[in-house]
Amino acid sequence: MSSKFLNHVSVITGGSTGIGLAIAQGLLAEGARRVYITGRSRKNLYEALVLLGDAAVAIVSDVSDLADLEYLKTEIEKRGDRLDSIFANAGICEKHSFGATAEADYDRTFGINVKGVFYTVQTLLPLLTDGGSVVLTSSICSNNGMAELSVYNASKAAVRSFARTWTNDLRGRKIRVNALSPGFTRTPLMDNSLKLDHQQIDSLKEYVSQITPLGYMADPAEIASAGLFLASADARYITGIELTVDGGLSQI
């Protein structure tokens, strides 16, 4: 591996599993000095630390809780760190039938996927170096109308919008803000949020293999590599974009 992120310090929300964990692994493999990972499950965070090693700091934090975000900021400040990048990655995906969606379901999705992204970046912004990078995890669902996912789709469209507006808001500090939009990816979200069993996941994989030009469902590391690109100096002239990583699915 290269030293593309030598001495880099980053925060990855939702960093204990899936895409977030793969991003943390990639940063450390490329020389990062410290990565902060957050999540709501202490067990998942502990298991992630075993994989990541001593350069990782795990903090139990719910991105929809502003007190938790302030605690995260305090823990970073205690270590004297400044941030080179923020990966606002934490999110949930739940199916809801239009006409039978409870207010609590709506509030939970928007609380994590929209409020959580907004206040993660706003809270940590004073610690982000000028010229730093913000990568927001959106979804190809921000641009389509996938049935039974209207609340999720709208929440990810909001995330895409943040990347555009914050690019303007932060232009004076030369902070780049981009959205990363994965397609179908095999992460624990399928088990925990969508509540799919093994047979349903296998069926979904087969379906995805048929509709995706590259013929398979992505692994988290394949999405993470695109996120790492956006945070790196290789993307120094890229801001405000949505980078779609879906095996060509949304292009046909």
Q: Which active-site residues does the annotation give? A: 152
Coil, strand, or helix at residue 128?
A: strand
Residues 199 and 231: their CA atoms lie apart, in Å, by: 36
Are 235 and 178 in contact by the 8 Å Cβ rule? The answer is yes
Return all residues near 71 (Cβ < 8 A) that are at least 6 apart: 59, 61
Residues 236 and 252: their CA atoms lie apart, in Å, by: 29
Q: How far apart, in Å, are the Cα atoms of 191 and each of 126, 131, 137, 141, 194?
A: 36, 37, 19, 18, 6
The greatest distance separating any two alpha carbons of the chain, rounded to the nearest whole angstrom, comes to 51
CA angle, 154 then 16 then 78, to 5°: 105
Q: Helix 42-52 and helix 18-29: axis angle, to 10°?
A: 30
Are 195 and 189 in contact by the 8 Å Cβ rule? The answer is no
